[in-house]
Structure 1
Amino acid sequence: MDTMLLKQFFIEKIAHSSYLIGGNTSCAIIDPGRDVDRYIEAAAAEGLKITHILETHLHADFVSGHMDLAEQTGARIYAPAAGHCTFEHVPLSGGDTFRIEDMEFHVLETPGHTPDCLVYVVADTSRGGTPVAAFTGDTLFVGDVGRPDLFPGKARVLAEQLYDNLHTKVMTLPPECLVFPAHGAGSLCGKAMGAMRFSTIGYENTYNPALRIGDTEEFIRSLTVNMPPAPDHFARCSDINRKGPALVRTLPSLRAMKPAEFHERMKDADTIVVSIRDYATFGGQHIPDSYHIDMGGNFPTFAGWVLPPDRDILLVTDSPTQAKEAVIQLRRVGLDRTIGYLEGGTHAWVMAGYTTDHIHQLSPSEVHEKLKDPATVLVDVRAREEYEAGHIPGAVNIMAMDLRTRAGDLDPDTPTIAMCRSGHRSSLACSILKQKGFSDVYNAAGGITGYIAAGFMKT
């Protein structure tokens, strides 16, 4: 009798997939996220005990939940031997096998995306010995493969290893074997992932563009030239996961702060203020020198990219519920020091007599009008490949996150408009420019999308 159960969990924005695979009484969780209640509740609903926690590699783009899950369930953590993890675990290498009831797990060692990648190949022996599923981590995605350029100086070697491991190990699995990757469309762990959240070996062999490159040199070039930029937290999370992240129960609890306490606390040099409200509201009124990361955009990725991890974070939000959700998303990218939020928001702030700052939001027609003045500088804050695909003539391309170090390329006394695709990243850019002493800053509301829709630019 077939008893294998499989559940997929998908976290939006970081586009992370994790899995529960179980039998009659026990189950494994593969590549868990940090908010582990979802797995505990899902296992309980199926009457299963979590006995195994399987990591395919040391994730670069999010903080894993293996430590919290192990503490709360007593399950053993299985992780790549090549990861040199410092917490208690079962180290795995290529050729290792283990069983969970009728399921036999075979370990493939597949360095390439990172030096420690594994693929877990599962056979349901209640039905036969043929592999039925491969949990490919960040080695193989739907329509893409893992990027090998996250380790300085190792991109070429890792890309070559990835090519060999894909063609000699992963893609030799049966064509009907299901592929369950750790990420989907929207993740920056690959170059161009598909929106489907699972696939088969056969389908990927036939249609995956990266796998259809038959020349090693061309494959290496495709994964090492013009790759999307990697957020700052990609350089931190692997090591956090190697050491074992701090248990969530040990992190600061979020406190509602009245304006006076908030004002006092933000004076500390080790504290930053982050507004997560929508960009129009932020533009209307915000606390001076605060960062703006709109919850409507890719909040966790942008936060992990620009916020310093060694500072306490104070939030300005629309509601206590939004503040709590932000804390969860910040912890996913290793930002563990959120200590409070402004009770009553900016309304309470100004009622208490404190100062606010403003960023004027320009509609597409206002942007078009303002650009007639040759003194106005338009900064296109999208990634280079977005800019090259189409931009307003004369626009300067500096990615929003790079303004932290490249604001000096611009004149702080010149009228400056920031533009992205929609208005989210450009509002972040405006907040950074204001911190850098720019006084005459404007956000292009609706971004280049609105500008094109208004008929000011042909696509």
Structure 2
Amino acid sequence: MIIRQFFIPGISHSSYLVGGTGSCLIIDPSRDTDQYLIAAREEGMKIVGILETHLHADFISGHLDIAEKTGSPIYMPERAQALFPHVPVQRGSIITIEDIRIEVRETPGHTPEHVSYVLILQSRSDSPVAVFCGDTLFVGDVGRPDLFPGSSQELASELFTSLHKELMTLPDHCEVYPAHAAGSFCGRSLATKRTSTIGYEKIANPALAIPDRDSFVLSLTSDMPPAPDHFSRCTEVNRRGPVLLAELPDLKALSANEVRLMLESGVAEVVDIRRYDSFGGIHIPASLNIDSEANFATNAGWIVRPDINQILVGYNPKQVADAVVMMHRTGIDSITGYLSGGIQNWVQSGLKTDNVRIISVHELASLMESEPELLILDVRATIEYAGYHTPGSINIPWPDLRTRHSEIRNSGLVVVICGSGVRAGMACSILKRAGHHNVVNVAGGYIGWIAAGFNQRLT
């Protein structure tokens, strides 16, 4: 038997190939399906099934794409009520390939329909050797139950039962293969380690140490991090069945004037995927800035509208192509094309541009001395702001500026700061799109601020 893990940074997603000698299953696949076909070919195996633990909220699954390419059946939780051809599974369902027996356990809590797949290698033992637990149990954490408005209390209670009555009854040696690791918004404090065992989680997972149901529910429904916008879309897309990637239109290289006409007619928006410093120097007016090297898939899923044509501006076609793959992961399929020749093509066409002034942490320190009424906008998460911040600053997490930008005064300088400058770059682009033009970004953010020795100016 072989188990191969596939990990995607950014969305921190783990999927798996489980195989015998000539056949294999794919569990919780991403939309990047070629990797599974290549792996199966390398192992000399045929893909004979696709297993989904639940309707994923944080990414678009590749189950239909793999089924289209291989003819393999898709196994889905019966309670998911999926609208595409599939084999429904529930408690007691059994899937067998060669000498591998997979038993289905219902483990609701993160989502109502969640199941886990318990693997038994029958040629070795009748004892479970591994569990593919999706987002029920992580290394060092458990799945969040608050993604369904009005159901978090009930789901948290169900999660307590799923963990203690289903997963923790497995033998200590049973290996744990979750669908996410640190960096995912599907939990609160996932470990960077990507696999574990039931026994180790029993002694080292803080959520499992909570002794009673009421305390567990309170813990899992309090102070959860915000969920990105695409979480409210991906579940339903995965239930209906995503559009096959092969059916999406090819990406077009657009001239500056083609982009201008689309923007003027209101049928498209621009996403600038360059670094915040490049974006600050010069960009197309009203562009959103999302650095393609900084958790791009999640950030794009959070603020990019999937219902309007999107035009990308990047450094080169390779960067654009990579960004398109990442956007597809979180359900942004409305990408019309990219600006051929990048921003240089735009400026050489004599078209209007905008910019964001960027200052150093030393300039910020001087401004704080000379302008006591200076508005410093901290766009980090609330929990980060509570840890430390510059005195007198206000905190609005960067995605919230889409609806809370009116809380920012529209006169006087607004200094935007985050941890490094990346989130502040996104925040500045949101503010400029909303009509706040006197904004500056602090290069290096609090990392640079602390490195420069200004720690004493934090509270």
CA distance in 2, matches of 1:47, 1:308: 42
- The structural deviation recorded for 1:374 is 2.6
What residue in structure 2 maps to residue 414 of structure 1? 412
- The structural deviation recorded for 1:297 is 1.2
Please, which of 162, 166, 175 is the counterpart of residue 165 of structure 1? Answer: 162
- The structural deviation recorded for 1:267 is 2.1
**1:216-259 deviation line (CA, Å, top 9, x unaligned):** 11111111111100000000000000000000011121111121
CA distance in 2, matches of 1:283, 1:142: 39
What residue in structure 1 maps to residue 303 of structure 2? 306
Alignment of 1:276-287 (within 5 A): 276-287=273-284
**1:333-386 deviation line (CA, Å, top 9, x unaligned):** 000011111111111111111111010111111111222313321111011111
What letter matches 1:424 in structure 2?
V
CA distance in 2, matches of 1:65, 1:267: 36
Secondary structure of 1:287 counterpart:
coil
What residue in structure 2 maps to residue 431 of structure 1? 429
**1:143-194 deviation line (CA, Å, top 9, x unaligned):** 0000000000000000000001100110110000000000000000000000
Secondary structure of 1:106 counterpart:
strand
**1:275-296 deviation line (CA, Å, top 9, x unaligned):** 0001110000000000000112
CA distance in 2, matches of 1:369, 1:252: 51
Secondary structure of 1:169 counterpart:
helix
Alignment of 1:284-433 (within 5 A): 284-372=281-369, 373-433=371-431
CA distance in 1, matches of 2:295, 2:270: 18
What residue in structure 2 maps to residue 245 of structure 1? 242
CA distance in 1, matches of 2:360, 2:265: 37
Alignment of 1:156-195 (within 5 A): 156-195=153-192
- The structural deviation recorded for 1:415 is 0.7
Q: TM-score, normalised by structure 2?
A: 0.98
CA distance in 1, matches of 2:290, 2:35: 26
Secondary structure of 2:274 counterpart:
coil
Q: Does structure 2 conserve the Cα–Cα contact (< 8 Å) formed by 1:375 and 1:415?
A: no
Secondary structure of 2:206 counterpart:
coil
Q: Does structure 2 conserve the Cα–Cα contact (< 8 Å) formed by 1:283 and 1:361?
A: yes
CA distance in 2, matches of 1:448, 1:243: 43
Cα RMSD after superposing both structures: 0.9
CA distance in 2, matches of 1:266, 1:326: 21
What letter matches 2:154 in structure 1?
V
CA distance in 2, matches of 1:84, 1:48: 30
Which deviates more from structure 2 when the two are superposed, residues 201-210 or residues 261-270?
Answer: 261-270
- The structural deviation recorded for 1:268 is 3.0
Q: Does structure 2 conserve the Cα–Cα contact (< 8 Å) formed by 1:392 and 1:457?
A: no
Q: Does structure 2 conserve the Cα–Cα contact (< 8 Å) formed by 1:63 and 1:240?
A: yes
**1:81-122 deviation line (CA, Å, top 9, x unaligned):** 011100000011111112011000010101000101111000
What letter matches 1:209 in structure 2?
P
Q: TM-score, normalised by structure 1?
A: 0.98
Instruction: Determine whether 1:443 maps to 2:441.
Output: yes
**1:8-48 deviation line (CA, Å, top 9, x unaligned):** 00000000000000011110000000010000010011111
What residue in structure 1 maps to residue 107 of structure 2? 110
CA distance in 1, matches of 2:236, 2:49: 22
What residue in structure 2 maps to residue 121 of structure 1? 118
**1:27-75 deviation line (CA, Å, top 9, x unaligned):** 0000000010000010011111101100000000000000101000100
CA distance in 1, matches of 2:38, 2:262: 37
CA distance in 2, matches of 1:288, 1:455: 36
Could you tell me which runs of 5 or more consecutive residues in structure 2 were left unpaired when the two chains were aligned.
none
- The structural deviation recorded for 1:427 is 0.4
Alignment of 1:195-206 (within 5 A): 195-206=192-203
CA distance in 2, matches of 1:266, 1:340: 13
What residue in structure 1 maps to residue 22 of structure 2? 25
Instruction: Determine whether 1:8 maps to 2:18.
Output: no
What letter matches 1:81 in structure 2?
E
CA distance in 2, matches of 1:362, 1:407: 22
